[in-house]
Chains A and B, each alone.
Chain A
């Protein structure tokens, strides 16, 4: 089986389980949580390479989203009702057109080429797959505005950012008190400088923001949100889950944090303090959860499997050994 087929199969399984539909945390082990459709990874790469090399400022795409918030898009859905990644693809398409980098006709001819290609191979495009791939093809091949090589290089980095990195960091902190002490004072020093086995396989050099890792205790529960947009500790967790970027979460976690966490299955004692971190682009946050009970003597690798992406954001607890067994 080729890599593409494997990915497709994995994705179908994930879709069947409803993991891309999640309006609320699924709390599955980080090692099963990192699959996204390939075109989404490629699109994220394009977005970052274009803004990273200064083709246009990223702020333009945020403004575009605001401008088009209530405006119906081709397909009859307003920007605010589009799925998260479709929204991102749409706003970049509009910015490229507005900036005169790509015309409607350019995109149309790319999409037609791809339609034919997909048909010949008997593949069904998902969502805005054709538009995303069309833009990539136009920018990196047809127009040659950006070369294929920087794109391919950055694609590897983008794909290497998954919640597995976060899970490994947490597992190391659970077994290594020195690492944990440094992680609390200077997280980046700990992650990138302490032990190469902890850092992502390919260290992402485009990582300008600071990082904080607040620790959960019996008295304090930390939760991460970005109420303004979708700031997220991508360097250690990859792309955000859909519940994280939903308006329900952004609103309720500020207005009634205890109630939304209870609705999502996390009942907290009335005496537990909840600290909601409303993060921004300058400093990102990841939560250090409490080590589950019944894991004495477990190795770092075993412990990492108990960590879920949702527990790194503070809305769930890591898995218990029994829960992990049930998921495997």
Chain B
């Protein structure tokens, strides 16, 4: 079965605002381990939350990876660069954060938003 990638290197993407149920994101700004977990929901993807709703740029394409909770579905996996100045007021325009993100969590964004 052929699988087609949605994005390529240098594409501009935005991280969708998603459900917290199966994503463990302990390090939110206030309480370090504020988790909303449904223990019956299967395996968890562990991910930071700070990139939610932020626009970034694809830097690398890794191939495919099975996706939680039940790993029955595969998705492409990307290295995405975000400007830390979009996340923190104390960061400069030269500070970036690179996070590896599932294709399912990404949507296309206009280049002007980067």
A residues near B, CB below 8 A? Answer: 59, 62-63, 65-66, 69, 80, 210, 212, 227-229, 231, 247, 250-251, 254-259, 270-283
Q: Mark B65-85, 1 if CB is under 8 A from A, else 0.
A: 100000000000101010010
Whether the Cβ atoms of A256 and B88 lie closer than 8 Å is yes
Whether the Cβ atoms of A280 and B24 lie closer than 8 Å is no
For this complex, 17 residue pairs linking A to B, each with C-beta atoms less than 8 Å apart, are: A66-B35, A69-B32, A227-B27, A228-B48, A247-B32, A254-B50, A254-B88, A256-B88, A257-B95, A258-B92, A258-B95, A272-B94, A273-B95, A278-B48, A278-B98, A279-B100, A282-B65
Whether, in the assembled complex, B97 has its beta carbon less than 8 Å from a beta carbon of chain A, the answer is yes
Cα A273 to Cα B27 with chains together (Å): 24
Binding site of B, secondary structure by majority: helix, strand, loop or mixed? loop
Cα A279 to Cα B97 with chains together (Å): 10
Whether the Cβ atoms of A228 and B98 lie closer than 8 Å is no
Whether the Cβ atoms of B46 and A276 lie closer than 8 Å is no
Residues of A within 8 A of B26 (CB): 66, 228-229
Least Cβ distance of A69 to chain B in Å?
5
- Looking across the interface, which residue of chain A has its beta carbon closest to that of B96? A275
- Looking across the interface, which residue of chain A has its beta carbon closest to that of B60? A212
Whether the Cβ atoms of B90 and A255 lie closer than 8 Å is yes
Residues of A within 8 A of B92 (CB): 258, 270
A210, A271, A278, A280: the one within 8 Å of B94 (CB):
A271
Residues of B within 8 A of A279 (CB): 100
Centre residue among B25, B37, B91 by max chain A CB count within 10 A: B91
With an 8 Å Cβ cutoff, the count of chain B residues facing the other chain is 33
A69, A228, A277, A282: the one within 8 Å of B24 (CB):
A228
Whether the Cβ atoms of B95 and A227 lie closer than 8 Å is no
Residues of B within 8 A of A276 (CB): 84, 95-98
Whether the Cβ atoms of B33 and A66 lie closer than 8 Å is yes
Query: A63-B39, A275-B81 in contact; A281/B46 too (CB < 8 A)?
Result: yes
Residues of A within 8 A of B47 (CB): 228, 280
B residues near A, CB below 8 A? Answer: 24-27, 32-33, 35, 37, 39, 43-44, 46-48, 50, 62, 65, 77, 79, 81, 84, 87-88, 90-92, 94-100
Cα A310 to Cα B4 with chains together (Å): 40
Whether the Cβ atoms of A273 and B48 lie closer than 8 Å is no
Cα A227 to Cα B100 with chains together (Å): 13
Residues of B within 8 A of A247 (CB): 32
Least Cβ distance of B107 to chain A in Å?
20
Query: A228-B48, A258-B92, A276-B95 in contact; A251/B39 too (CB < 8 A)?
Result: no
Cα A198 to Cα B90 with chains together (Å): 40
Whether the Cβ atoms of A59 and B44 lie closer than 8 Å is yes
- Looking across the interface, which residue of chain B has its beta carbon closest to that of A219? B94
Centre residue among B44, B65, B97 by max chain A CB count within 10 A: B97
Least Cβ distance of B9 to chain A in Å?
14
Whether the Cβ atoms of A256 and B91 lie closer than 8 Å is yes
Whether the Cβ atoms of B94 and A273 lie closer than 8 Å is yes
Cα A110 to Cα B65 with chains together (Å): 43
